[in-house]
C-alpha cells in the first residue's frame, strides 16, 4: 500500500517533466510527510493537453453524501480496480500520474512497535505513481479526489510490505493517461526487481504532523 510519501520537486520542474500546464493553486513543496486527505500534485490529460493540478488524496465515490461518508479510499488495488463499483469508472476514463520522491512503509518489531522505512528508486529518478481521480460534490463545494493504484510488491521490498504503489516509467505515461489509446490494464503488474532501495528512518515520521528533511534520513537500526 502507500499511506505516506514525500515530494520535493519544484512545480516548474514537474511541469517540464510531464510537459504539463501547471495550475495556480498547487500545494507547496518541499513536503516530506504527505498524508491522506491532504492535497497532492497530479497530472491529467484531456484533448491532448496535460495539466498539473491539485487533488485531495482520498477518493470519494459519487454516491457518498459527504466526503467522510464511508471508508477513506487512499489506495486502489490493481487486481480488482476494474471490478470495484467505487473505482471502475475512474479506472476506465479518469487516470492520473502522482509524482513523489519516495514513500514510507512500516514493519513491526518484537514488541509491535511501528518501524518506518523510506523507499525510493535506486536511480533517484522521480517516482511517478499511477492514480485514478473523481470529482465529488456540487458546483459550490466540488472537490477533485484521487487514489494511488497499488500492486504486489517487487522482490526488493517484499520483506517490508506485500504491496507497493504502481510505478510508471515515462514510456508508460501516455498509455496510462489515455493518450495512447486503450490498454492501460497491461501496466497494472508488479514492478521489476532491483529497482527500489529502502532504509530505516526515525519513528518521528509516525506522526502525521512531523515535517522536515530529516524524516527520511537513514538511521542505524
DSSP 1-50: ----EEE---HHHHHHHHT-EEPSSPPPS-EEEE-TTSEEEEEEEETTEE
Q: What is the pLDDT of residues 11-29, one digit of tens each?
A: 999 999 999 999 999 999 9
Residue numbers of the domain that contains 72 = 5-216
Question: Which pLDDT band holds residue 127 (cuts at 50, 70, 90)?
Answer: very high
- Asked if the model's pLDDT at residue 1 lies above 80, the reply is no
Nearest to 170 by CA among 50, 80, 67: 50
Answer yes or no: is 66 within a domain: yes
**Dist. CA 42–CA 51, nearest whole Å:** 8
**Dist. CA 184–CA 109, nearest whole Å:** 38
Nearest to 98 by CA among 48, 58, 44: 44
Answer yes or no: is 221 within a domain: no
Give 53's Cβ-side CA count (13 Å radius): 14
Answer yes or no: is 129 within a domain: yes
DSSP-H helix ranges across the chain? 11-18, 88-93, 173-176
User: What is the Cα Rg of the chain in Å?
Assistant: 17
- Asked if the model's pLDDT at residue 216 lies above 90, the reply is yes
Q: Would you state the pLDDT for residue 201?
A: 97
| Number of neighbours of residue 203 by Cβ within 10 angstroms | 15
- Asked if the model's pLDDT at residue 220 lies above 90, the reply is no
Q: Can you give the CATH number for the domain in which 21 is found?
A: 3.90.1680.10
Q: What is the pLDDT of residues 27-46, one digit of tens each?
A: 999 999 999 999 999 999 99
Rounded to the nearest integer, the mean pLDDT of the chain is 95
| Cross-strand partners of 53 | 42
Q: Would you state the pLDDT for residue 41?
A: 98
- Asked if the model's pLDDT at residue 50 lies above 80, the reply is yes
Average pLDDT on 105-116 reads 92
Count of helices and strands (H, E) across the chain: 3, 13
Number of separate domains in the chain: 1
Average pLDDT on 196-220 reads 95
Answer yes or no: is 82 within a domain: yes
3 state SS of 101 = coil
3 state SS of 80 = coil
DSSP 74: -
Q: Would you state the pLDDT for residue 158?
A: 94
Amino acid at each position: 500500500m502507500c499511506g505516506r510519501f514525500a515530494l520535493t520537486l519544484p512545480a516548474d520542474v514537474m511541469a517540464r517533466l510531464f510537459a504539463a500546464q501547471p495550475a495556480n493553486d498547487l500545494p507547496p513543496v518541499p513536503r516530506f510527510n504527505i498524508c491522506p486527505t491532504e492535497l497532492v500534485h497530479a497530472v491529467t490529460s484531456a484533448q491532448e493537453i496535460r495539466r498539473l493540478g491539485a487533488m485531495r488524496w482520498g477518493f470519494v465515490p459519487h454516491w457518498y453524501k459527504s466526503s467522510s461518508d464511508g471508508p477513506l479510499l487512499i489506495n486502489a488495488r490493481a487486481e480488482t480496480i476494474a471490478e470495484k463499483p467505487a473505482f471502475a469508472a475512474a479506472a476506465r476514463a479518469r487516470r492520473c500520474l502522482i509524482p513523489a520522491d519516495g514513500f514510507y512503509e512500516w514493519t513491526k518489531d518484537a514488541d509491535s512497535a511501528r518501524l518506518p522505512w523510506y523507499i525510493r528508486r535506486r536511480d533517484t529518478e522521480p517516482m511517478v505513481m499511477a492514480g485514478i481521480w473523481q470529482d465529488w460534490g456540487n458546483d459550490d463545494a466540488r472537490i477533485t479526489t484521487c487514489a494511488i493504484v497499488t500492486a504486489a510488491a517487487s522482490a526488493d521490498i517484499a520483506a517490508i510490505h506485500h504491496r507497493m504503489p504502481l510505478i510508471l516509467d515515462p514510456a508508460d505515461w501516455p498509455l496510462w493517461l489515455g493518450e495512447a489509446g486503450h490498454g492501460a490494464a497491461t501496466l497494472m503488474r508488479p514492478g521489476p526487481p532491483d529497482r527500489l532501495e529502502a532504509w530505516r528512518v526515525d519513528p518521528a515520521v509516525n506522526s502525521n504532523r512531523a515535517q522536515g528533511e530529516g524524516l527520511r534520513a537513514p538511521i542505524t537500526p
